Structure 1
Amino acid sequence: MWDKSKWGVSLRWLRRLLQESPVRQQIVWLDCCHSGELLDIFDEANPGQEGKAVERSVIAACRGFEVSREQLQGEHGILTATLLQGLDPHRDVDGWVSNNKLADFINQQMFGELQRPIFHNSGGAIILTDKTHGVQLQLDPKLKGTCPYKSLNYFTQEDAVFFYGRRKLTDELINRIRTENFIAVLGASGSGKSSVLRAGLLDQLKRGQKLSGSDRWQYYGPFTPGEHPLESLRELGIGGREREMGRGGEVELQNSPPASCLLPSASKNLLPSASCLLPPPASCLLPSASKNLLPSASCLLPPPASCLLPSASEQRVVLVVDQFEECFTMCQDEQERDEFFACLLAMVAQGHDKFCLVLGMRADFLGKCAEYAQLAEKIDQHLVTVKPMTSEEIEEAITKPGELVGLQVEQALVTKMIGDVVDSPGSLPLLQYTLTELWTEAQTSPNPNRLTLESYNRLGGIEKTLPKRANQVYKSLKEEEKPVAKRIFLELTQLGETSDTRRRVCKEDLINSSHSLELLERTIEQLVRAKLIVTTNESKSGNGKAGVILDIVHEALIRHWQELRQWETIKLWRIETNLGLGL
């Protein structure tokens, strides 16, 4: 007769054991006949979490009505033999095996067997085996505990160690700066312009490893024009000694040319002040109606080179202006804008190969620059376009920063994230935002040095981070801007019979009696800065005219932002109601 006390266990006892256990990660594997019964009634034995974060892996060799079989040749049951094979970390692309990976492997290997294995995995991933276990990784102690991702912020020169995926673009910029004295870096919002200027171009130039002598050049910026671009230029501290942050984190002081020689005076003359040369007639300094910004040669003699820019025996000067579109979005004084452009172009014209101006600007503002003939010509001649990152570059941006802090990223997660962002314009900040969220969550888990697909799915990936961001931005808008933002998102959504999709809209087509151009541009600018929409400049829009094209940053926003879904429902109801009324 079967002795239950000797050969069996009570499910209530198992439930109590798991409830009272202080073990956070619990593993129960059964290779015996009818073991699936445990899963069939697991709700009774499931201890729950009782307020604790518990990871659990339960594997049964067969269903409740099946028997567990042994190998025809071998010393183990079929499940045990498969478990031993699947637990080998050397056969895994990541070099480590989790309970979820093991379940997938067992399903594949035992497909077609007379018994079907049953699984129950809950909570976070449990790392079962790791080929790096016991191996001391050589990590920089200064990076310990540092998040290698930047959320929605751009990379700075201090973050250059974590900046990956833009080597090709950085090399192109360095090659351009080798032979040119003007470079315009244009790309969509969220394409990584600010990051590549700081953590790519400037970091490499200051190292002096790719361009001989560039570590001895003088650098100003990057700075953004702001509301008063001339004042922003003066605030760089050009003149005397400039504070520069060195690669090692120490503050370095560099000698600079006199400020009076490089910048317009308080009277807003467009070229160097009287300390360098006699001021030209005012009629020569101000832009004409055609916006030609530089005074003609007949107006003044060029100042001595040693006054405006370095002499032939001195090192090169590099001035970097980022977010150049602020000259149009923030500077409301057209004369100051004209003078700022004239000042930059004068330095380029008179500096020759001893001066280089680098501009970073959103591509949709190229049309604004067309109003300034000489500036537009310069941009056209020295344009570098920031193209979308390739799949290989995105993978490098995900995995390489993590390696520096001992972080392992599951290959399945890498593949999933690449697929989620590779065809979406302006998604790089969102990629970094999601990676930051994954890293933050991992720090409170038993596996703080691993990012997994399971965690990504639990967070919702971009599909959840986007709506969260959208709600924050929408609530921060002024009351008169909220209806404009609502209309913009609805216009960027194409209502469909089965699912809604993104559609592109020309900015000029959104102007009406309720929404002025000024209000529209102000709202668009905030949505672009928040990385919720992207803008591009096209020679022809839907109506055949030149214009700025708006696009939603990712269709996940359409699918999963509840606020937008409600707006769409109301819009559809109004359309249907109007049709019913014959309107």
Structure 2
Amino acid sequence: MFEGNPFPGLRPFEFDENYLFFGREEQVAQLLQRLGNTRFLAVVGASGSGKSSLVRAGLLPELHGGTMTSTSIAWDISIMRPGGDPLTKLAQALVESNLFGDVNEENVLQTRATLSRSGLGLIEAYRQSDIEEGSNLLLLVDQFEEIFRFRQSGDKTGQEASHFIQLLLETARQTEFPIFIILTMRSDFLGDCAEFQGLAEAVNEGEYLIPRLNRKQRARAIEGPVKVGGAEISPRLKQQLLNDIGDDPDQLPILQHALMRMWDYWLNNANREQALDLDHYNAIGRMTEALSRHGDEVYNELPDDDHRLLCMKLFKAITEKQGDGRGVRRPLPFSEIDEITGHQREKMLTVIDAYRPIGRTFIMPGENVKIHDKIIIDISHESLMRVWQRLKNWVNDEADSARIYIRLCETAQ
């Protein structure tokens, strides 16, 4: 019998949750076909369109299952996000995939040095790895748009970003070794690709633009996990959910969050023989209010005003509204958050822990990961910045403060 909640909420579906991942079968088949013809694939879509889930819970399990017959059935998979130090992140991803013996800091540093030597560094790292002969290596660079924000933060970071992209492009061009590159990227950052030599051309050639789910596919995404969980959903609730989500891809994570909350409410307040129904949906605030209610619920449960003030500082630190109005994640190591918020480590840990248990995945990593100085703290999805009203206000306040500061600096000059 299934235990737990079959809906992940705001975070993406993971590799081992492919049995809960419904409605994308046609898109997974298309990705497999594309990957059979190219070494460089850019999975592009609007925020909330399910890019990470499609690759992690859709494509990768199929590769491990040997579905792609045009190449070896053996796959080693490394997953990373570029952040502010893409070369180190790449080295860590390769080492943590057990390609270089023990997982330790020394191997990370050695691999990073190899990657840094030339534009062929990733190919050289493959040569030096313990990967079995004939095995494919797939590198997934998730949230690729992070590279554009960090490029703007300084000369050294910009140079490293350029070198990282050169590594990807040179690796994708060669055919001697079976190395495949997949990016996931928000479509509103496509124009930023022109900042890097050769990137726009590669993305144009290897782009897979995620199509919107049709109504039947959205229905499968709702009904499938409910059935896996051993429950039923009333026809009227299914129709209401489909009507509420409409055609907006940004609503998909909001739908997943509402379904997660509704499942928990149903589990705790209803007879398990009863189908999920409108009463349960109304109780959690529907899609329009469920996320704001949930975020505020955690906020109000914090021990005191000091913790609530730190909560505001935390979310302001790890989110950002750019000059063009785009809301973006701003993942930071815990040590930097601790410094920004005044070295109140224990209180900050209390705040972070309040927002990351199962069922409350507003902040990543999840509760199973111990927080230390180098751990990256991030929001689980950009939709938080658009739908949780309290955070939306904080993000706007921070953007207004930044604009005022810039104007004051310009006036002083």
TM range (shorter): 0.5 to 0.7
Structure 1 counterpart of 2:245 = 421
- Alpha-carbon distance in structure 2 between the residues aligned to 1:183 and 1:335: 23
Contact preservation (8 Å) 1:191, 1:386: yes
User: Which residue, out of 265, 271, 274, partners 1:447?
Assistant: 271
- Alpha-carbon distance in structure 1 between the residues aligned to 2:295 and 2:4: 27
- Alpha-carbon distance in structure 1 between the residues aligned to 2:86 and 2:146: 9
Structure 2 counterpart of 1:328 = 148
Post-superposition offset of 1:329: 2.9
Structure 2 counterpart of 1:226 = 83
Structure 2 counterpart of 1:466 = 291
Contact preservation (8 Å) 2:9, 2:259: yes
User: Which residue, out of 366, 386, 389, partners 2:190?
Assistant: 366
What SS does the corresponding residue of 2:94 show, helix, strand or coil? coil
Post-superposition offset of 1:346: 1.6
Matches within 5 A, 1:217-366: 217-221=75-79, 223-238=80-95, 241-242=98-99, 265=113, 268-272=116-120, 314-330=134-150, 332=153, 333-351=157-175, 354-366=178-190
Q: Specify every segment of 5 or more residues in structure 2 that has no aligned partner in the other structure, as ranges.
A: 300-307, 333-377, 397-413
Structure 2 counterpart of 1:169 = 27
Write the deviation string for residues 476-502 of structure 1: whole angstroms up to 9, x where unpaired.
Answer: 4439959x99xx8xxxxxxxxxxxxxx
Post-superposition offset of 1:182: 0.6
What SS does the corresponding residue of 1:409 show, helix, strand or coil? coil
Post-superposition offset of 1:215: 3.5
- Alpha-carbon distance in structure 2 between the residues aligned to 1:157 and 1:523: 24
Give the TM-score, by structure 2 length: 0.67
Post-superposition offset of 1:521: 6.5
State the AA in 1 paired with 2:82: P
State the AA in 2 paired with 1:271: G
- Alpha-carbon distance in structure 1 between the residues aligned to 2:148 and 2:12: 22
Matches within 5 A, 1:370-389: 370-389=194-213
What SS does the corresponding residue of 2:169 show, helix, strand or coil? helix
What SS does the corresponding residue of 1:186 show, helix, strand or coil? strand
What SS does the corresponding residue of 2:117 show, helix, strand or coil? coil
- Alpha-carbon distance in structure 1 between the residues aligned to 2:272 and 2:14: 25
Contact preservation (8 Å) 2:87, 2:115: no
- Which of 1 and 2 has higher RCO (CA within 8 Å, sep 6+)? 2
Post-superposition offset of 1:424: 2.8
- Alpha-carbon distance in structure 2 between the residues aligned to 1:310 and 1:479: 40
Contact preservation (8 Å) 2:82, 2:146: yes
RMSD: 4.1
State the AA in 2 paired with 1:270: S
- Alpha-carbon distance in structure 2 between the residues aligned to 1:238 and 1:167: 32
Post-superposition offset of 1:442: 1.3
- Alpha-carbon distance in structure 1 between the residues aligned to 2:39 and 2:237: 43
Structure 1 counterpart of 2:366 = none
Contact preservation (8 Å) 1:191, 1:426: yes
Post-superposition offset of 1:233: 0.7
Pick closer, same or farther for the CA change 1:155–1:416 going to 2, 3 Å.
same
Pick closer, same or farther for the CA change 1:446–1:459 going to 2, 3 Å.
closer
Post-superposition offset of 1:418: 0.7
Write the deviation string for residues 134-177 of structure 1: whole angstroms up to 9, x where unpaired.
Answer: xxxxxxx4xx2221111111100111110011111111110001
- Alpha-carbon distance in structure 1 between the residues aligned to 2:84 and 2:331: 18
What SS does the corresponding residue of 2:113 show, helix, strand or coil? coil
- Alpha-carbon distance in structure 2 between the residues aligned to 1:440 and 1:465: 13
Matches within 5 A, 1:493-508: 508=323
Q: Which runs of 4+ in 1 moved over 4 A?
A: 305-311, 469-475, 479-482, 507-510, 520-528
State the AA in 2 paired with 1:185: V
- Alpha-carbon distance in structure 1 between the residues aligned to 2:97 and 2:67: 27
- Alpha-carbon distance in structure 1 between the residues aligned to 2:174 and 2:92: 22
Structure 1 counterpart of 2:215 = 391
Write the deviation string for residues 270-291 of structure 1: whole angstroms up to 9, x where unpaired.
Answer: 3356x96xxxxxxxxxxxxxxx
The percentage of counterpart residues that share the same residue type is: 27
What SS does the corresponding residue of 2:52 show, helix, strand or coil? helix
Pick closer, same or farther for the CA change 1:479–1:190 going to 2, 3 Å.
closer
Q: Which moved more, 1:391-400 or 1:229-238?
A: 229-238
Greater strand share, structure number: 1
Pick closer, same or farther for the CA change 1:458–1:217 going to 2, 3 Å.
closer
- Alpha-carbon distance in structure 1 between the residues aligned to 2:19 and 2:73: 17
User: Which residue, out of 478, 485, 506, partners 2:313?
Assistant: 478
Structure 2 counterpart of 1:541 = none
Q: Specify every segment of 5 or more residues in structure 1 that has no aligned partner in the other structure, as ranges.
A: 1-140, 244-252, 277-302, 489-506, 511-516, 534-551, 568-583
- Alpha-carbon distance in structure 1 between the residues aligned to 2:216 and 2:313: 41
Pick closer, same or farther for the CA change 1:271–1:371 going to 2, 3 Å.
closer
Structure 2 counterpart of 1:410 = 234
- Alpha-carbon distance in structure 1 between the residues aligned to 2:240 and 2:146: 36
Structure 2 counterpart of 1:154 = 12
Post-superposition offset of 1:470: 6.2
Structure 1 counterpart of 2:375 = none
State the AA in 1 paired with 2:35: I
Post-superposition offset of 1:214: 5.1
Give the TM-score, by structure 1 length: 0.49
